Amino acid sequence: NAGVTQTPKFRVLKTGQSMTLLCAQDMNHEYMYWYRQDPGMGLRLIHYSVGEGTTAKGEVPDGYNVSRLKKQNFLLGLESAAPSQTSVYFCASQLISRENQPQHFGDGTRLSIL
Amino acid sequence: QQPVQSPQAVILREGEDAVINCSSSKALYSVHWYRQKHGEAPVFLMILLKGGEQKGHEKISASFNEKKQQSSLYLTASQLSYSGTYFCGTERANQGGKLIFGQGTELSVKP
């Protein structure tokens, strides 16, 4: 019962470096989401995907790119990391073929940009 | 537009009750409630659909007032395990499953 798996769990980057966060789900969910969580701000949607090969912008997409080449994987990329991107990143997936389904979250990636 | 949760924080003694509110300025299709413990992922509690439906989960229940676009989460006879941050996520019609989350309410239950 893996559910939603995020890698890596922790990462420290220097300003200007690039990296990719991986989210994998084994529940055959159609929808996948990337959020960032900052103190006092709740969860803010960065990008999301409604199916393989599709992506869309959320509330705070600037500075991030995403790809969903396979249904089970959703990648979040930072091309040139900035200190303002220091945050905890959560991935979630959701079954849409049935109504009123919850989002299932991964354990998060804690990212620090120095 | 981010929903507004109140209160921002609450401290309870074991056995006491609490209410957490989530208000939106937009017409909603549903409201989701999640609980997050420190350093962990948010965990789903329940979904409320428009129509004023009230649902329950152990001693935690919730309601959704469609006219006011407000949902309330009720925690009765609180236990130490209820401590954490509670988030509401609001869904508007024709948005698929996309949620906009409130800023969270931090609940601490003391012995």
Residues 50-79, chain B: which have Cβ within 8 Å of A? none
Give the pLDDT means over successive 10-residue stretches in chain B (111 positions): 94 96 92 94 90 70 89 94 96 84 96 94
Out of A31, A44, A59, name the one closest to residue B97 (CB): A31
pLDDT, one tens digit per residue, over A95-108 is 987 777 899 999 99
Beta strand extents in chain B (DSSP E only)? 4-6, 9-13, 18-23, 30-36, 43-49, 55-57, 60-65, 70-75, 84-91, 100-101, 105-110
Size of interface A-B (CB pairs under 8 A): 50
Position A66 scores a pLDDT of 97
Residue in B closest to A93 by C-alpha: B97
Give the gap in angstroms from C-alpha B44 to the nearest C-alpha of chain A: 7
Position B54 scores a pLDDT of 65
- pLDDT at position A68 over 70: yes
C-alpha dihedral, B85 to B32 to A42 to B82, nearest 10°: 0
pLDDT, one tens digit per residue, over A20-33 is 999 999 999 999 99
- pLDDT at position A67 over 90: yes
Is the Cβ of B84 closer than 8 Å to some Cβ of chain A?
no
Token pair 């790809």 in the structure block, residue: A67
Record the tokens describing residue B93, joined without a space.
């019609």
Is the Cβ of A94 closer than 8 Å to some Cβ of chain B?
yes
CB contact under 8 A, A100 and B99: no
Contact partners, residue A101, CB within 8 Å, separation at least 6:
A94, A95, B97
Say if CB B96 and CB A33 are below 8 A apart.
Answer: no
Sign (positive/negative) of CA torsion B56, B60, B65, B66?
A: negative
Position B55 scores a pLDDT of 67
Angle at A12 (CA atoms; ends A20, A43), nearest 5 degrees: 65
Position B97 scores a pLDDT of 78
pLDDT, one tens digit per residue, over A40-50 is 888 999 999 99
Angle at A107 (CA atoms; ends A101, A108), nearest 5 degrees: 105
